[in-house]
Homo-oligomer: A and B are copies of this chain.
Amino acid sequence: MKPHVYKFGGSSLANPERIREAIQMVRCDPKCLSVVVSAFGARFKGDLKATDLLLRYVAKIEQPRQQAKILTQVKARFAEIAAGFEETASFDTNRYWDHMAKIFAANKHADFFITRGEHCMARLMALILGFRFVDATEFIRLERGCYLLEQSKRQAKKIRLAETPSVVPGFYGLTLGGFVQAFQRGGSDISGAMGAELLEAETYFNCTDVNGVLDANPDLVPNAQTIPIMSFDELGEMASRGASVVHSYALRPVRRARIPVIVRNTRNPEHQGTLITRREDIPTRIPGSILGLAGRNGFLPIIISKDGMDEEVAFLATVTRIFADHGLNIEHIPDSRNAITVIVNGKAFRRVEKAIRNDLAKKCHPDSISIGNELALVCVVGAAMREHSGVAAQILNTLASERISVSTISQGGSEISIVLGISNDKYEAAMRALHAGLL
């Protein structure tokens, strides 16, 4: 029997009430073999998450009074959580944090200290669930920021990770040199995915505080709906275009291991959530049907013109290199023949604009460099759009009927999305119109 692996994010572990919901979910699933946890999240808007508090603590290294105040806050939050469960009576979280503060004062090892939120939470959860506590350092092996799959597998086997249910802190691993290292990105999501891969899980449950992956940003589109099933590619497209869901980066281990992911809402366990799986495991959709919308605003189109550039074979390579050298990610290039249009994050561009203009002038000798009006990029995602000419027309008709004009369009060869550049101030209207018209 293949096991299930659960990951609970900070919002699912913000206070005893939330934690009880998470516990309930685990107890209802006899297949659950491992639970990966974040540190506590925010309880309400403006509340601080554990990691934010701990990062502040580390930053105030020269201000012991400030540090003491922060430590008091951290202790209070964990004490509140521990007080909610009889099973944690043996674990004095105040003493734990005093001890950790002492260690940090001695070794000044930031990664160690900022990951103690997860560590402490996992210890509490292990007690509550009656599961074995397994530190991430016991089996997640890293080197220079890379995850070492084979070494980690060997360690997991050695410590018999697969034999008894465990709780594991997310967000970090151990370097070959023996140091705790926090993940740059992906946090506990990626720890959970690593655990699922190492345990050859049947399913990885990524538990959060929304009903799965929504088909639009609910802040813009109040009646956004859950996407019941989608592919890793589609998730990647949604996430990279601005949907705030699990980042596809964090799902690489399970994707590689062909383990499906279910994104569930801890607060609404009856809801089926979203199943993310391989493209070939998804039932055929209605041709041309659309899955969801993602978007971001604040982009700038940089239009570089040069008469005859279509004959300079290296022109595009030179331009893209200049943007890369200044650390600017190119969002897309809707035109590259008689004028190159490069769409980039507006704020990031403004920071390096002068240097980029200089380099372009020096290396490309353009006739002109003009900057268009701020754009929002709206991305319509769905693999069933492929080879179905009606969809693009429908998208554009929908926008045209709302008098929203489109300044750039691009649809690539993989055809799981169409990206539209729209005036920044029409962003919300476009999202609502597309959601109403297509979904």
Q: Which residues of A pack against B, CB within 8 Å?
A: 233, 236-237, 240-241, 248-249, 252, 255, 301, 303, 305, 307-308, 310-311, 313-314, 316-317, 320-321, 323-325, 327-341, 343, 372, 387-390, 392-393, 396-397, 399-400, 403-415, 418-419, 421
Contacts and interface: CB of A to CB of B under 8 A. Distances in A.
Contact of A316 (B248, B320, B372): B320
A411 B336 contact: no
A201 to B, nearest CB: 20
Nearest to A240: B310
A303 B415 CA distance: 11
Contact of A411 (B323, B340, B389, B410): B410
Given A397-B393, A406-B392, A413 B330 contact: no
A78 B233 CA distance: 66
A418 B240 CA distance: 25
> Lowest 8 A-B CB distances belong to which pairs?
A335-B412, A393-B396, A341-B413, A314-B324, A317-B320, A301-B413, A317-B321, A389-B405
B307 A316 contact: no
A158 to B, nearest CB: 29
A414 B338 contact: yes
Contacts of A313: 324, 327-329
B412 A336 contact: yes
26 contacts: A240-B337, A248-B307, A249-B308, A303-B413, A305-B414, A311-B329, A314-B324, A316-B324, A317-B324, A317-B325, A321-B321, A335-B410, A341-B412, A343-B413, A389-B396, A389-B403, A389-B405, A389-B406, A390-B400, A392-B409, A393-B399, A406-B411, A408-B410, A408-B411, A409-B409, A409-B410
Nearest to A326: B313
Contacts of A397: 393, 397
A337 B392 CA distance: 19
A408 B413 contact: yes
Quick one: which of A399, A406, A414 has the most chain B CB within 10 A? A414
Contacts of A303: 412-414
Nearest to A314: B324
Given A240-B310, A314-B324, A396-B392, A334 B407 contact: no
Nearest to A329: B313
How many copies of this chain does one complex carry?
2
B409 A411 contact: yes
Contacts of A341: 412-414
A415 B334 CA distance: 10
A317 B403 CA distance: 36
Nearest to A305: B414
A237 B338 contact: yes
A325 B314 CA distance: 7
A342 B331 CA distance: 15
Contacts of A240: 310, 337-338
A378 to B, nearest CB: 12
Nearest to A392: B396
Contacts of A301: 413
A412 B408 contact: yes
